[in-house]
Each structure stands twice: as C-alpha cells, then as structure tokens.
C-alpha cells in the first residue's frame, strides 16, 4: 500500500467519523425526547395514548357516560315553553369544556314539533341541568321531550383539590305568590377564594311525591371569592300544584374559574 493511498484512507476515515458524530448529535436528542401528551404514544405516566395520568385529556375508556335522568318542557305563556334536561355526571374529576346538544319535541300523538340546539359545558361530579328558554311551538302543545348530545364529549381532567374547594352554598330559599305571579329568592355564597364567572342558577320545584312542577333560571355575571349575593326567579303564570321542595343548581364552567 502506497503512502498516498494510506493518506487517502486516513482522510476518508476522518470524514466518515465526522459525519457519524454529527449525525449522532442530531438523531440522539430525538431518540431521547421526553414523553409528552401529544406524541401519539402511551409513555411516561399516561394510562392511555396521550391521556390519563399527568395529561389533561382523560381517557374515554376510564370515563362513565353522562346519565339523562329526565328531560321536560314547562309552559311559560301560551305557545312558549322552557326546556330542561336534568343530568348526572358520575365522574369525580373529569369535565367537558364545550359540547353541543339537541332537544326534540313532539305532541301527544308523537308528531314531531321541532328541535332546539345549543352548546354547554359538563361540570364534574354531580347533578346538573341544561336549560333552554322560550321554545316557540306555535299553537301546538309539546308532551314528549328528548335530549341528546350531538357529538362525543372530549373529557378533561380537573384537580380534585380545586373541585373540593369550589363550593357555592345556597340558603334562605323563599317562594311567594305561587297562585298569582310566583317569585322565588335565595341567598348564595361563594365559599371559596376563587372568582367564579358567568354563573347561572337553575331552580326545580317539586310536589310532595317528587314530581317536577316547574323550573326557571337566573344569572350572575360573577361571584367573587367569599361573596354573598341574592338571586331571584320569576314566573309569569301561577304554578300548577303545591310546591313542597325546591332545588337550586349552580352552573358554571370550571375551566373559567380563577384565583383572586
């Protein structure tokens, strides 16, 4: 082997070594990349592909579907009704930021009268209500009401500590003038240090055997930490039946809640 050939082999070897080291420095970091919740793999402390564990997305296989306990309409004035769906989320620390839904209405002969669509959030852990006001059915009388989701929910995990701290306490519920122009008042208190924005309250009225007589809704733009406020509900017509129990359900998007 000549000296010139040896020199050429040396230079080629140096060049190959340089490219090998350079390629290693580029490829190695990608091979050792830290697991994320968006890499399309089940890694790290995930319990599914990009879900569960430390990821915000909850795994659908670990979430129970929301139960629709009942859906009904309540007459406001002739031709206009409020639609209410009463639901139960059995999942303690999962919620949905936004989801579309649909009410459908039919008369006593099961003739389709129309639908009302909307969007809402699903709060974690417990019963909640979806309220659609002023449904116009003309001269028809809706007897059957159905409620369904228009899409699959995208469940997100919520801190159990945050859920535990967030408490709106309802007290001093007073119903007056049931047989003329009913009005109901109550006191609400934000028992946490969180600022709760866009709070709605749905009231459901029951008779002695648990039948639902009517429902209504009211709003507060904001409820500051430790704030106490009064809420009021009204009805334009008398409530048919004797009201024995009153349930007020606070509704707010937990993803909008912030500390002071």
166-260 has the same fold as 55-158: yes
**pTM of the predicted protein model:** 0.83
Containing H/E element for 224? none
Give the number of other Cβ atoms within 10 Å of residue 141's Cβ.
15
Nearest to 217 by CA among 118, 96, 115: 118
Tens digit of pLDDT for each residue in 136-175?
988 999 999 999 999 999 999 999 999 999 999 999 999 9
Domain ranges of the chain: 55-158, 166-260
- What's residue 86's pLDDT? 98
Mean of all residue pLDDT scores within the chain: 88
- What's residue 1's pLDDT? 56
Least confident of 36-40, 133-137, 165-169, 188-192: 36-40
Architecture per CATH, domain 166-260, reads as Sandwich (2.60)
Nearest to 84 by CA among 256, 254, 257, 251: 251
Phi, psi at 234, each rounded to 5° = -135, 155
Tens digit of pLDDT for each residue in 59-96?
988 899 999 999 999 999 998 999 999 999 999 899 99
Give the class (CATH, top level) of 55-158: mainly beta
* Share of residues in the chain with pLDDT > 90 (%): 73
- What's residue 228's pLDDT? 97
């Amino acid at each position: 082997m000549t000296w010139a050939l040896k020199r050429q082999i040396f230079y080629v070897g140096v060049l190959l070594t340089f490219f090998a080291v350079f390629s290693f420095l580029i490829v190695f970091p990608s091979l050792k990349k830290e697991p994320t919740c968006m890499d399309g793999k089940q890694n790290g402390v995930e319990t599914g592909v990009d879900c569960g564990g430390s990821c915000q997305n909850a795994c659908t296989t670990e979430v129970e579907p929301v139960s629709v306990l009942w859906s009904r309409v309540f007459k406001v004035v002739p031709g206009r009704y409020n639609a209410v769906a009463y639901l139960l989320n059995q999942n303690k620390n999962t919620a949905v930021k936004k989801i579309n839904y649909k009410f459908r209405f039919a008369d006593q002969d099961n003739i389709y009268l129309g639908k009302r669509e909307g969007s809402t959030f699903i709060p974690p852990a417990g019963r909640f209500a979806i309220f659609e006001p002023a449904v116009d059915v003309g001269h028809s009388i809706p007897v059957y009401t159905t409620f369904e989701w228009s899409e699959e929910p995208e469940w997100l995990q919520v801190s159990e500590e945050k859920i535990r701290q967030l408490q709106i306490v309802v007290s001093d519920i007073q119903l007056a003038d049931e047989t003329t122009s009913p009005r109901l008042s109550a006191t609400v208190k934000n028992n946490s240090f969180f600022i709760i924005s866009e709070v709605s309250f749905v009231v459901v009225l029951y008779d002695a055997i648990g039948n639902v007589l009517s429902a209504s809704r009211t709003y507060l733009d904001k409820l500051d930490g430790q704030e106490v406020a009064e809420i009021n509900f009204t009805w334009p017509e008398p409530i048919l039946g004797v009201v024995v129990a009153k349930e007020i359900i606070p509704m707010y998007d937990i993803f909008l809640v912030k500390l002071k």
